[in-house]
């Protein structure tokens, strides 16, 4: 999965409507849509798309969408 | 541990009790969190209503009401009850054990063995396996499991992460030996390295109660407030743990029983929240028609949620033999799966409790 597709799927997972506004450098914790519930959605997204079981700490250590992408793909 | 296996022991009757006070989640604490935020949380977790015990109602009162109803409905001679187990993390006192108070209150003879089990969400499978194990000894004629929780008293109403999930309830289950019961299987697990995922940090003996532990504090970037004597939950890490461990444990137990999920009549999940349960069902491709739920109307009642779901949703569906798979997970962390046959289990109507007394049948 390339980063472009990842961004689209990320937006879908946490229900961001304006996908065009997102880039690899977007700091996702700052997004209006981001809340404590989003953590659960991201964990589900990683499990379904990458068969990777990540925790809250790993997500909180990520700053940008690209950091999340690296977590998912390496 | 290997899977525990029993034969010829089963649950013959069950009863349930809830507080009469209903919390409507869409309108709970809306002044504090804002109506829109509340709606978002409620829709995501799928908890629309819960029951809250008043200050005069304890877990034991809910269990007492459930047990009275069940024992009376089935004309059970209380002199035959030789074992009473009370399962809860919200007991009446730090001492003595609540089970012993309930022995007297229910009019059960002094020759009865009574003790408490302190476990959370996974607890019913644990209590059942302990009682099944003891019932292999013919000295015990009938056993009573009383499982009650008042989690509404444990969590902060100013912490959005936990304020909308938990509710209160109690159940009673009668366990007997009878050849009509076939094989049952239990898988029971613990992971203390994750003990800090769900916890009440203070008020025990590690950090004893003090004015400091009762102080409310802002605990995160979202402005959530609680004291050290109120529980917290690292929901994301709990979810990670659940998706790693629970499907594996269900598969392991089914394999030991040489059965498949399709052969189960019902699959009863711990009612954690709708998000987690739907996710596991989807991941494991389980038939959702076989998965009863009470999360919407009773919320997460910790260890009570599995038996409460059976009492509430399967009451008129228990004629003949029914294979039920139960799976539960939570604080500890502890998790368990059980495959248990029910044969003509008699289930009483859920009763309501107010000020510690039964008000409605």
CATH of the domain at A63: 1.10.1200.10
Closest CA to B59 of B94, B22, B23, B86: B86
- Distance, in Å, from the CA atom of B353 to the CA atom of B22, rounded to the nearest integer, reads 12
Question: B230, B154 in Cβ contact below 8 A?
Answer: yes
Decide if pLDDT at B297 tops 80.
yes
- Mean pLDDT, residues B184-191: 97
User: B236–A35: do the CB atoms touch at under 8 Å?
Assistant: no
| B275 close to A (CB below 8 A) | yes
Decide if pLDDT at B152 tops 80.
yes
Query: What is the pLDDT, as a whole number, of residue B56?
Result: 97
Decide if pLDDT at B201 tops 90.
yes
User: A37–B234: do the CB atoms touch at under 8 Å?
Assistant: no
A and B: number of Cβ contacts within 8 A: 41
Query: What is the pLDDT, as a whole number, of residue B113?
Result: 98
pTM assigned to the model: 0.94
H or E element: which one contains A36?
helix A36-50
Query: What is the pLDDT, as a whole number, of residue A74?
Result: 83
Which one of B40, B222, B236 has the shortest CB-CB distance to A40?
Answer: B236
Query: What is the pLDDT, as a whole number, of residue A9?
Result: 93
Q: Which residue has the higher pLDDT, B16 or B234?
A: B16
pLDDT tens digits for B315-335? 999 999 999 999 999 999 999
- B280 contacts in chain A (CB < 8 Å): none
Is residue B11 exposed (0-12), middle (13-18) or buried (19+ Cβ within 10 Å)? buried
Residue B2: pLDDT band by 50, 70, 90 thresholds? confident
- A36 contacts in chain B (CB < 8 Å): 160-161, 222, 235
How far away is chain A from the Cα of B244, in angstroms, using its nearest Cα?
Answer: 7
CA distances from B256 to A9, B133, B138, B168, B288 (A): 38, 18, 26, 34, 23
pLDDT tens digits for B60-71? 999 999 999 999
- Mean pLDDT, residues B106-123: 97
- Distance, in Å, from the CA atom of B104 to the CA atom of B49, rounded to the nearest integer, reads 34
The most distant pair of C-alpha atoms in chain B lies apart, rounded to whole Å, by 58
Residue B289: pLDDT band by 50, 70, 90 thresholds? very high
- Distance, in Å, from the CA atom of B14 to the CA atom of B169, rounded to the nearest integer, reads 14
Decide if pLDDT at B360 tops 80.
no
Q: Kindly provide the residue ranges of all beta strands, DSSP E only, lying in chain B, ordered along the sequence.
A: 4-7, 9-19, 22-24, 49-51, 81-87, 113-117, 142-150, 168-177, 183-190, 198-199, 217-218, 225-226, 232-233, 266-269, 321-330, 334-343, 346-347, 351-354, 357-360
Question: B173, B17 in Cβ contact below 8 A?
Answer: no
Q: How far is CA B136 from the centre of its chain?
A: 24
ipTM score over 0.85, yes or no: no
Query: What is the pLDDT, as a whole number, of residue B13?
Result: 98
pLDDT tens digits for A33-55? 888 788 989 999 999 999 999 99
- Distance, in Å, from the CA atom of B94 to the CA atom of B101, rounded to the nearest integer, reads 13
Percent of chain B exceeding pLDDT 70 equals: 100
Which one of A37, A39, A43 has the shortest CB-CB distance to B41?
Answer: A37
Q: What's the CATH superfamily of B1-361?
A: Thiolase/Chalcone synthase (3.40.47.10)
Closest CA to B251 of B127, B162, B347, B337: B337
- A53 contacts in chain B (CB < 8 Å): 240, 243-244
- Distance, in Å, from the CA atom of B57 to the CA atom of B66, rounded to the nearest integer, reads 13
| Residues of chain A that touch chain B, judged by Cβ-Cβ distance less than 8 Å | 35-37, 39-40, 43-44, 47-48, 53-57, 59
Query: What is the pLDDT, as a whole number, of residue A33?
Result: 87
Range of the domain at A67: 3-73
Q: How many domains does chain A have?
A: 1
Token output for B29: 């604490």
Nearest-CA residue of chain B relative to A49?
B283
Average pLDDT in chain B: 96
Residue B91: pLDDT band by 50, 70, 90 thresholds? very high
- Mean pLDDT, residues B24-41: 92
Residue B1: pLDDT band by 50, 70, 90 thresholds? confident
């Amino acid at each position: 999965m390339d980063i472009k597709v990842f961004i689209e799927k990320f937006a879908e997972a946490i229900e961001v409507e304006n996908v065009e506004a997102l880039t690899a450098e977007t700091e996702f914790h700052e997004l209006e849509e981001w809340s404590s519930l989003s953590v659960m959605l991201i964990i589900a997204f990683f499990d379904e798309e990458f068969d990777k079981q990540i925790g809250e700490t790993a997500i909180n250590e990520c700053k940008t969408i690209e950091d999340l992408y690296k977590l998912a793909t390496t | 541990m290997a899977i525990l296996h029993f034969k010829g022991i089963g649950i013959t009757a069950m009863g349930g009790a809830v507080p009469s006070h209903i919390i409507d989640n869409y309108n709970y604490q809306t002044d504090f969190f804002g109506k829109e935020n509340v709606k978002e949380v409620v829709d995501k977790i799928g908890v629309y209503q819960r029951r809250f015990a008043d200050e005069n109602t304890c877990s034991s009162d809910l269990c007492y009401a459930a047990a009275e109803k069940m024992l009376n409905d089935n004309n059970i001679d209380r002199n035959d009850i030789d074992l009473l187990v009370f399962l809860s993390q919200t007991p009446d006192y730090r001492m003595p054990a609540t089970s012993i108070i309930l022995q007297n209150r229910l009019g059960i003879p002094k020759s009865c063995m009574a003790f408490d089990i302190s476990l959370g969400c996974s607890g019913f499978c644990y209590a059942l396996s302990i009682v099944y194990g003891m019932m292999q000894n013919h000295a015990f004629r009938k056993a009573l499991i009383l499982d009650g929780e008042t989690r509404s008293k444990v969590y902060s109403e100013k912490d959005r992460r936990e304020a909308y999930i938990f509710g209160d309830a109690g159940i009673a289950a009668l366990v007997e030996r009878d050849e009509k019961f076939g094989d049952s299987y239990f898988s029971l697990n613990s992971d203390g390295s994750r003990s800090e995922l769900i916890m009440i940090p203070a008020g025990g003996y590690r950090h004893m109660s003090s004015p400091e532990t009762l102080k409310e504090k802002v605990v995160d970037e979202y402005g959530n407030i609680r004291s050290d004597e109120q529980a917290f939950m690292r929901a994301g890490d709990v979810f990670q743990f659940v998706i790693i461990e629970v499907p594996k444990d269900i598969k392991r137990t089914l394999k030991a029983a040489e059965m498949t999920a399709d052969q189960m009549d019902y699959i009863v999940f711990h009612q954690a929240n709708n998000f987690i349960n739907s996710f596991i069902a989807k991941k494991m491709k389980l038939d959702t028609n076989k998965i009863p739920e009470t999360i919407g109307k009773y919320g997460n009642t910790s260890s009570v949620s599995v038996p409460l779901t059976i009492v509430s949703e399967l009451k008129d569906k228990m004629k003949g033999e029914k294979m039920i798979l139960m799976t539960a997970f939570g604080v500890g962390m502890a998790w368990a799966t059980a495959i248990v046959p029910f044969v003509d289990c008699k289930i009483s109507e859920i009763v309501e409790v107010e000020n510690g007394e039964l008000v409605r049948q």
